[in-house]
Amino acid sequence: FGKEILKQQVDVYRRLRNTLRYLLGALDGFTPAERVESDAMPELERWVLHRVYEMDKLVRQACNDFTFHPLFTELHNFCTLDLSAFYFDIRKDSLYCDHPMDARRRACRTVMETLYDCLTAWLAPFVCFTAEEAWLDRHPGEDESVHLRTFPDIPHTWQNERLAKRWDDVRNVRRVLTGALEQERAAKRIGSSLQAAPTLYLTPELAKAVEGVDMAEVSITSGLHMIVGPVPEGAFTLPDLQGVGVASALSNGKKCQRCWKVLPEVEDGGVCHRCADVVDRLA
């Protein structure tokens, strides 16, 4: 027992606290009128709901079995890996730049309300005061307390194993893309991933698995070209994922002053077509 262990616990707590803090900020001004039904949501949101379904089953089973240590590890990994490093990272562009009534942004905030409702309840036995503060921030009142709640009921219709398998493949491909981007960043060829427009090489099987998914959005780049075929020599690869490679390249164009994407349509000091449309609708 020493300072290193204390530091590790501080880091773990900070990640949980930052997850709740992010959700509170993202849900500012959210009203029930903004909600979207799950079957009308994009695939990414439905994948998150599937993960919520899985976590709900795990939480209830762990509480019945009094296996709280592995439960805490699963909750921490869910907040850190599934949410902060993946879902929140991808959807921050939509939160910041889409019109408030755009379907994608509304779906995102609907899912974040669900995450807030669930995580405040699931984390309450472990980070008692933090969960209470987070709950009272949106539900003030002398008679309110997160510790008077029961776990939210999660619909069975959110379970989707087929979608889960598809997004496992998407996340694996994304690991190669982000690895290539980190290599470019370390070499100081790019500062932000939005400066990049890489070429992604995939096997036919993986190409079919990620078909229809905007991999540029998922990898947070300004563009992406996908080629079904063998990985060329010199492309970035990962040893544990065969048949996937990335050839890095810079995106052509100017930087949008609103969303920061680098696109050919942007003029000096201007904004992209999407941002121009949103600004016009907000005026």
217-248: pLDDT as tens digits: 999 999 999 999 999 999 999 999 999 999 99
Is the residue at 27 inside a domain? yes
Residues 185 and 155 in one domain: no
Residue range(s) defining the domain that contains residue 26: 3-159
Per the structure, how many domains does the chain have? 2
Could you report the per-residue pLDDT of 3-15, keeping only the tens digit for each?
Answer: 889 999 999 999 9
What is the mean pLDDT of the segment spanning 37-65?
A: 98
The Cα angle at residue 174 between residues 187 and 56, in degrees rounded to 5: 135
CATH of the domain at 114: 1.10.730.20
- Calculate the average pLDDT of the chain: 97
What is the mean pLDDT of the segment spanning 133-151?
A: 96
Confidence category of residue 2, pLDDT binned at 50, 70, 90: confident
Residue 1 has pLDDT above 70, yes or no: no
Residues 152 and 34 in one domain: yes
pTM above threshold 0.85: yes
Residue 214 has pLDDT above 70, yes or no: yes
Is the residue at 72 inside a domain? yes
